Structure 1
Amino acid sequence: MQLTLNLILFVSMLWMAGIYPAACKTNLVSCRLMAEPQLPGLFMNGDYVIGGIFSIHSYLRYEQNTYTTFTFIYFFSIFNSMVFRELRLSRAMEFAIHEINNRTDLLPGITLGYEMHDSCAAVPMAIKVAFQFANGIERFFNDSDSCSKYGAAAVPALVGESGSTPSISMARILGLFGIPQVNINSLLIFKTLFITYPKKNGLYSVLKRESLCNMRFCCPGKTGKILWLDVDWGTAQEEGICVEYSEAYYRTQPRSKLERVANVIRRSTARVIVAFLSSGDMRIIMEELVRNPPPPLQWIGSESWITDPEFLKFNMCAGAVGFCVPRAVIPGFREFLLDLTPAKALKSPWLTEFWERTFSCSLKGKTSARECDDIEDISAVQNPYTDTSQLRISNMVYKATYAIAHAIHGAICNDTQCDRTIKLSPLQIFHQLKRVNFTKNGFPVSFDSKGDPVAVYELINWQFKKGALDFMTVGLYDSSKPRGQEFSMNRAISWMGGQTDVPVSVCSESCPLGTRKAVQKGKPICCYDCIPCAEGEISNTTGYSLDCIHCPSEFWPNKRRDSCLPKPVEFLSWDSTLSIILTAFSVAGAIMALSVAGVFYKHRTSPIVRANNSELSFLLLFALALCFLCSLTFIGQPSQWSCMLRHTAFGITFVLCISCVLGKTIVVLMAFRATLPGSNVMKWFGPPQQRLSVLAFTLIQVLNCIIWLTLSPPFPFKNLNHYKERIILECGLGSAVGFWAVLGYIGVLALLCFVLAFLARKLPDNFNEAKFITFSMLIFCAVWITFIPAYVSSPGKFTVAVEIFAILASSFGLIICIFVPKCFIIIFKPEQNTKKHLMAKLPSKAL
């Protein structure tokens, strides 16, 4: 599949270049050019000819392509600052070749030639020239073998182009023939069809990593909006750059497109613009913006225009920054440039046009302009051609030419001599290029296995100097230094408007702590809303968190939701108001039980005490005192022992209490039956039997508790589910069956006692204790029936409080209903505390 695509691309490019390969016939004229070849602007023959391509002209006019005839490309002979600089670049290559030919240590006895073409900074022309470098300019190919290869390579290697877009387009063509191309912007070797840019050392990567991110323009989340003016250098989003809009412009596009791009810049809220495009395209955009200047902008430029002196007239670019190759000095180069006479200029169409436009005269006498004479002095001219103060790309051309010469030397020369008869293949040059290692003008030249050089770039800043804009070197990037130390600053940067602080270009301000980013729909990633973190989540970094962090289970966010704090632990502590109140009632209840016992003991011989089974009464009062006191085990921080004690103590003391009440109820019933004639029932339920029944009922509960504690005892645990923001420290039941068995047993005894007391409530005694037991059991059952739903639904420490309240309420109900009436008679109605009064018969009536 890939082979098919490459073949289709190859044939289509041949057609574009004017080569018609379908007429191959053996021993006949097999291949011919269907279009006129582009003649070189500078040419010199030699044993090996090196190709060069430069953007000498900037403007193109295209004919409408009907795809029925060949379309030719014409260019206007319009010279401008860019042309002058590009002409200087081409002459730097010419100077290097002349210098190499005069050396005895490099290619001794070998003469290098050159063939330089004009790409007009246009892809179609660059592709046409690329095919010429691959095939030559001969109109016919008679060699059938050459025909099978679509012509032999005319040059083994070439230097150029300064523009990225034409360079990449050429590389796709030259890669089919294996011809290496040394790019003069970054000294990269292009050889393959699919270009792989250096990930670490390329100027584009350095621009993004250092000029943008280290200056806090466009690291993810830190930038606002950026204009990206380029097509072939990929998208900035891949590097995490926030782009408000991306506009591509090419100078051959209609003026409406230019106006639209200019209006986008003017209306945008972006204050930082990355303009990575050719100098010619950039000049057109700047000229359009000058008509109606936008608000102050921070420009970040590419090398193609960031060091172009002609751009210094645009004051709106004051503060612009950009990386470029280091400035250098080429000894003898200025003299070579100025060694130009009319006679020498006539040898090249480029130099002829340059001379005529510089001095407004005609060398050939074919125009209406005056004829040039000998008074013109090129050394008195001030333009980019003669300006050697900023030799950056010129030095790259110079080094690239030397690199190819070293590669040819490595392919055809041994230690002593070179063999000019060797036919070089482009692939040989490509492999030799990756091996070169030399130093020129103080700059080392070498390539890695991928064809990438060691990256060294200067950071240029446009600053005002003596009232005029000038280029200032403020930093240096050197990829050969240790990681993290590649970039260094040696001078303060003057940003847009002369400010010293880094410009801010943001769509949304940094999100505060405790919030996260929520990207706004349909807008760039730097436009977002700040959303507070959800419950249980925090954000402890300012600005760029996309997600909040969940706090651990035992932690909860603070009010600002920027840190996790330990959750407060909640339990019924001794120092709480509720605990103090419950403790007071518990102690008061126990004192009350002991006080009643004291009253009973003091009047133990009185009829009312003796008639109500004093032994069971004292045991019941003791059990009630324990019931009041066992509620205290529910207060305080739960522990393993307190959890086991509180439930078992509660279960056993209440069974003891209810067993005594049940015994008293049975005694009442048996005493009534004992008064019937012939009844002997009291001998079966005397004091020993009463004690035994109480002991038996209590031992059953003790057995329940032992089984519960053995199999699955209660335990302290942290309840994290009931409340999200705090921890409830409570006692787990362990076995719910054990808990409800203990509680259920108490309920069964209470219900049985209630039934028996209810049956005995109408017995015709003047003081029928069954009435009071009925009331007490009614209160007891009501309290515990109400307790069950309240216990289940009460949250946290209130669960424990509900249980204590149930214990106290039921205990107070028993002591008040059973003992308070007796104490009242003993203390306040002693006349009723007689045997006669107690034995008096009253009419039977319902209570």
Structure 2
Amino acid sequence: MFTEYQWIHSLVFTIEEINQSNMLPNITLGFRIYDSCHLRSRATEGTLWLVTGQEEPIPNYQCQSHSPLAAVIGAAYSVIPIPVARLLGRYHIPQVSHASSVGLLSNKQEFPSFFRTMPSDEFQSIGFARLVLHFGWKWIGLLADNSEYGQQGIQIVKQEIIQAGACIAFSETLTFISSTKVSSHVFEVIKRSSTNVIVVFANAANVIPYMDEIVRQNITGKVWLASDGWSTNNYFSKKEYLRTISGTIGLTIKKGEMPGFQYYLFNVYPSKDPNDIFIKEFWELAFDCKWPEINSNPSTTNQLTTDVKPCTGEENIKELKNDFLDASNLRFSYNVYTAVYAVAHSLYDMYACKPGEGPFFNRTCANIRGFEPWQLLHYMKNVHFTTSDGMEISFDKNGDPLTVYDIINWQITPNNVLEYVRIGSLDFSSAKGKSSITIDQSILWNGAQTEIPHSVCSESCPPGYRKASCLGEPICCFDCIPCSIGEISNQMIDATECLKCPDDQWSNELQDQCIPKAVEFLAYEDAMGATLAVLSIFCALVSMIVLCIFIKYRNTPIVKANNRELSYILLLSLVLCFLSSLLFIGKPKTWSCMLRQVAFGIIFALSVSCVLAKTIMVVIAFNATKPNSKLRKWVGAKLAISIVLICTIIQIIICIVWLARVPPFPTENMESQIGKIILECNEGSTTAFWCMMGYMGLLAIVSFIEAFLARNLPGSFNEAKFITFSMLVFVTVWLAFIPAYLSTRGKYMVAVEIFAILASTAGLLACIFSPKCYIILLRPDMNNKESLMGKDVCNEKHSDSVRENTIHKNTQAKLCIIVKKK
């Protein structure tokens, strides 16, 4: 009542101000006020009174001789202006509403003469979505009353919020509390929901019953986003609302200043405004008094004095503490002020029209004292002015004003009083949908918190994770899945997918950035590489020492008896075998990749060929002693050297073909080990590699078989036994090498091959030459012909028949063969 009565006086004040300012020379504005009582029928009836000029309205008939109807200011609420706007639109009579915000009224085809100084709810709805984005909220609840204001407004809010990337937790309608079931459902939804932010798009009358129940049920910790229908209603300043409403963010129309309006209100008295049909009702409500009825009897007057004090009309209006006198927060009253001025400026533009320069047919002007409504409508569409307090007023093509909202925050004052405080503004540019939010005051959230509340369905996924939608849930409800190995998400939050790192990079531990992969190869600086290198050199030195021993004692029987030239070649090849493993250590290069396998294959083939030649020579030597044996001509160094050369040349040919067709080359292996680049040698042709290895294995197996068959040949020092064992070690090592080599990756694969080289070579060295070195160095008494040939035979004192056969004179030693007769 008090607020709406202030609106009436803002209309009267503005008209009087315009008339006194001589803005329209020789023209006086007048007004007629009709009370719609918030009913569409009454509003329509009052409109017909204005249009027809008589109390018994007749459609399409006007009966008034006085000044023409210029425009209609009002009505207030959205449901009331709609039928009024339809009616006035048929007659093209301008209508300017100061409080109707429903978006439907922006339709110029349906409401061609409707204007407003109140922003459209479409902008307010978009503004709520902008606020949600501004504060980073993703999980929003929606409440709206069942009026056109609430339903149309909340639908746009919903669309804009979803379009902005946030989600709707629930959307409920606030009906008039006539059903307990409906209201309790709304409260259960609010309490059950995890959202902390709820938009309420409704008028105060529909919100109050629900808020009262929310207070009763002690639902706190929520951030309420209030539409302009209730955001500044002082009903919510009561103490019981402190815990519930504090922290509420609301949008309301921008307030303005009306110079002199406060003074004008202080001079509103019944005696000064006898024609004011509302002042007596206002006076009774404001001062809690009762006007005595005219011609009432004295007893009635006495009863009135006893129960309620009588109104005198002289009460001090300045003592009132209600909205009527509050001129410091003019919003809707200011809209009335600008609406009247919009009509006045349009009339002035019409008045200032110069004949021959007018906007109508034949460039004529309208007659200011007898114009048609559609002529003033033309000027209303193009009106543009600035008020005394600097507010710019104009209408767009939809009849909507330049839109600026004040953002208010309900805060608890130091006096423990709840009041709303302007904290910023929401300013829309001329382009629809564009806006800027300015927060220039601190915000106090519910519970006197200064940190922005959190409202999400799911917590944001940190870097290194991606969002995975939950089936049947809104997009804001998701699980956070760690990125796969080798993938990253480097957004600050909420990455929708993980990005694969480049081939030469890998994800770090947090999986939020790609880092260069560690380059790995068997280096000399590596502990394992250094150990193998030292071991290779040590074994090579041992082999050299053995070779030196054999050279020094080359004329002793044990050295002669073991084919001295083959022993030298074998020891030298063993030295090279040990040293060839060094080619496998270090950063792979083209030359080292080509040389390492070829050198290894050829040198090992040479070593095994020497062992094979030794074995064959042992067998031939023993079988050549038989009578009439044809093998005697094969006994000698030439056969042994030929075997070594032929077997080695075959391996050389295999390696030459390999190098000529598909040679080994260095490569960067980025797939075999996670997070590493393995620098290794690609064999080029695995077939050639395994042919080389297979040929070497064939030589070893043949040597093993030959030595195994010759292991039981008689003799004090039969070398076949040691060759058998050495070949057994050699074959075992390389058979174990195959699965180990195929199951390892990177530098460990190279280490396995080096170990196989060292182990097999050491096996040959130890098994073949350690017995000989033992005799040479530790048992020199056994290093003589008698020990090697056997005492009994050499002295010819054995009881059995004995036969000595001297091997070919070119051989380097005599070998005594004992044949016992059964």
Provide the rounded CA distance (Å) in 2 between the counterparts of 1:135 and 1:712.
Answer: 103
- 1:331 matched to 2:249? The reply is no
Query: In structure 1, which of residues 716, 727, 737 is the aligned counterpart of residue 687 of structure 2?
Result: 737
Contact in 2 for aligned 1:511/1:530 (Cα 8 Å):
yes
**Which secondary structure does the structure 1 equivalent of 2:152 belong to?**
coil
Distance 1:532 1:354, change over 3 A: same
Provide the rounded CA distance (Å) in 2 between the counterparts of 1:553 and 1:114.
Answer: 82
Query: In structure 1, which of residues 569, 574, 599 is the aligned counterpart of residue 524 of structure 2?
Result: 574
Q: Post-superposition shift, 1:491?
A: 3.7
Distance 1:632 1:358, change over 3 A: same
Which residue of the partner structure matches residue 61 of structure 1? none
Distance 1:577 1:127, change over 3 A: farther
Provide the rounded CA distance (Å) in 1 between the counterparts of 2:43 and 2:647.
Answer: 109
Which residue of the partner structure matches residue 784 of structure 2? 833
- 1:205 matched to 2:138? The reply is no
Which residue of the partner structure matches residue 152 of structure 2? 232
Which residue of the partner structure matches residue 801 of structure 2? none
Query: In structure 2, which of residues 547, 554, 558 is the aligned counterpart of residue 608 of structure 1?
Result: 558
**Which secondary structure does the structure 2 equivalent of 1:496 belong to?**
coil
**Which secondary structure does the structure 2 equivalent of 1:385 belong to?**
helix
* Matching residue's letter, 2:672: H
**Which secondary structure does the structure 2 equivalent of 1:246 belong to?**
strand
Contact in 2 for aligned 1:404/1:433 (Cα 8 Å):
no
Which residue of the partner structure matches residue 711 of structure 1? 661
**Which secondary structure does the structure 1 equivalent of 2:208 belong to?**
helix
Q: Post-superposition shift, 1:693?
A: 4.5
**Which secondary structure does the structure 2 equivalent of 1:648 belong to?**
helix
Pairing 1:60-459 to 2, within 5 Å after superposition: 83-93=1-11, 95-96=13-14, 118=36, 120=38, 138=57, 153-160=90-97, 162=99, 164=101, 167-171=102-106, 175-186=108-119, 188=120, 197=122, 202-210=123-131, 212-214=132-134, 216=135, 218-220=136-138, 226=141, 228-229=143-144, 230-233=150-153, 234-235=157-158, 236-241=161-166, 243-251=168-176, 254=179, 256-262=181-187, 265=190, 271-295=196-220, 297-314=222-239, 315-316=241-242, 317-334=245-262, 354=282, 357-358=285-286, 361=290, 375=313, 379-380=317-318, 381-406=320-345, 414-415=353-354, 418-420=366-368, 423-425=372-374, 429=377, 433=381, 436-447=384-395, 453-459=401-407
Provide the rounded CA distance (Å) in 2 between the counterparts of 1:241 and 1:434.
Answer: 39
Provide the rounded CA distance (Å) in 1 between the counterparts of 2:46 and 2:704.
Answer: 112
Q: Post-superposition shift, 1:687?
A: 4.2
Distance 1:584 1:290, change over 3 A: closer
Contact in 2 for aligned 1:227/1:265 (Cα 8 Å):
no
Pairing 1:674-713 to 2, within 5 Å after superposition: 674-675=624-625, 687=637, 690-713=640-663
Provide the rounded CA distance (Å) in 2 between the counterparts of 1:127 and 1:692.
Answer: 126
Map Cα deviations across residues 481-518 of structure 1 (whole Å, 9 max, x no partner). Answer: 99999544544334434444444556766666655666
Contact in 2 for aligned 1:537/1:551 (Cα 8 Å):
yes
Q: Post-superposition shift, 1:604?
A: 1.6
Q: Post-superposition shift, 1:634?
A: 2.2
* Matching residue's letter, 1:375: G
Contact in 2 for aligned 1:126/1:169 (Cα 8 Å):
no
Distance 1:597 1:264, change over 3 A: closer
Q: Post-superposition shift, 1:438?
A: 4.1
Provide the rounded CA distance (Å) in 2 between the counterparts of 1:228 and 1:438.
Answer: 37
Q: Post-superposition shift, 1:625?
A: 0.9
Provide the rounded CA distance (Å) in 1 between the counterparts of 2:649 and 2:41.
Answer: 110
Provide the rounded CA distance (Å) in 1 between the counterparts of 2:3 and 2:481.
Answer: 54
Provide the rounded CA distance (Å) in 2 between the counterparts of 1:749 and 1:522.
Answer: 70
Identity in percent: 36
Distance 1:134 1:209, change over 3 A: farther
Distance 1:382 1:808, change over 3 A: closer
**Which secondary structure does the structure 2 equivalent of 1:731 belong to?**
strand
RMSD: 4.7
Provide the rounded CA distance (Å) in 1 between the counterparts of 2:665 and 2:282.
Answer: 99
Provide the rounded CA distance (Å) in 2 between the counterparts of 1:553 and 1:525.
Answer: 33
Q: Post-superposition shift, 1:322?
A: 2.7
Distance 1:449 1:182, change over 3 A: closer
Q: Post-superposition shift, 1:732?
A: 2.4
Provide the rounded CA distance (Å) in 2 between the counterparts of 1:323 and 1:502.
Answer: 18
Pairing 1:488-637 to 2, within 5 Å after superposition: 488-504=438-454, 534-537=484-487, 544-545=494-495, 550-559=500-509, 561=511, 564-637=514-587
Listed as ranges, the gaps of 5+ residues in structure 1 are 1-82, 144-148, 189-194
Provide the rounded CA distance (Å) in 1 between the counterparts of 2:326 and 2:639.
Answer: 128
Distance 1:684 1:453, change over 3 A: farther
Distance 1:533 1:480, change over 3 A: same
Provide the rounded CA distance (Å) in 2 between the counterparts of 1:479 and 1:169.
Answer: 19
Contact in 1 for aligned 2:143/2:199 (Cα 8 Å):
yes
**Which secondary structure does the structure 1 equivalent of 2:173 belong to?**
coil
Per the normalisation by structure 1, the TM-score is 0.73
**Which secondary structure does the structure 1 equivalent of 2:392 belong to?**
strand
Contact in 1 for aligned 2:89/2:114 (Cα 8 Å):
no
Q: Post-superposition shift, 1:333?
A: 3.9
* Matching residue's letter, 2:336: V
Distance 1:356 1:298, change over 3 A: same
Distance 1:630 1:275, change over 3 A: same
Map Cα deviations across residues 327-374 of structure 1 (whole Å, 9 max, x no partner). Answer: 322234456656766699786766675566556557997999989986
Distance 1:327 1:135, change over 3 A: closer
**Which secondary structure does the structure 2 equivalent of 1:655 belong to?**
helix
Contact in 2 for aligned 1:326/1:456 (Cα 8 Å):
yes
* Matching residue's letter, 1:247: E
**Which secondary structure does the structure 2 equivalent of 1:247 belong to?**
strand
Which residue of the partner structure matches residue 475 of structure 1? 424
Pairing 1:766-805 to 2, within 5 Å after superposition: 767-805=717-755
Q: Post-superposition shift, 1:467?
A: 5.4
Distance 1:341 1:823, change over 3 A: closer
Provide the rounded CA distance (Å) in 2 between the counterparts of 1:255 and 1:107.
Answer: 61
**Which secondary structure does the structure 2 equivalent of 1:205 belong to?**
helix
* Matching residue's letter, 1:647: Q
Contact in 2 for aligned 1:107/1:418 (Cα 8 Å):
no
Provide the rounded CA distance (Å) in 2 between the counterparts of 1:126 and 1:204.
Answer: 30
Q: Post-superposition shift, 1:153?
A: 1.3
Provide the rounded CA distance (Å) in 2 between the counterparts of 1:243 and 1:225.
Answer: 5
Total equivalences in the alignment: 733
Query: In structure 2, which of residues 758, 762, 768 is the aligned counterpart of residue 808 of structure 1?
Result: 758
Distance 1:232 1:363, change over 3 A: farther
Distance 1:170 1:714, change over 3 A: same
**Which secondary structure does the structure 2 equivalent of 1:153 belong to?**
helix
Provide the rounded CA distance (Å) in 1 between the counterparts of 2:49 and 2:564.
Answer: 128
Contact in 1 for aligned 2:2/2:324 (Cα 8 Å):
yes
Map Cα deviations across residues 277-303 of structure 1 (whole Å, 9 max, x no partner). Answer: 222223333344444543355444333
* Matching residue's letter, 1:304: G
Distance 1:394 1:328, change over 3 A: same
Distance 1:484 1:665, change over 3 A: farther
Q: Post-superposition shift, 1:798?
A: 2.9
Contact in 2 for aligned 1:718/1:728 (Cα 8 Å):
yes
Contact in 2 for aligned 1:134/1:154 (Cα 8 Å):
no
Contact in 1 for aligned 2:704/2:724 (Cα 8 Å):
yes
Which residue of the partner structure matches residue 82 of structure 2? none
* Matching residue's letter, 2:568: F
* Matching residue's letter, 1:399: T
**Which secondary structure does the structure 2 equivalent of 1:473 belong to?**
strand
Per the normalisation by structure 2, the TM-score is 0.74
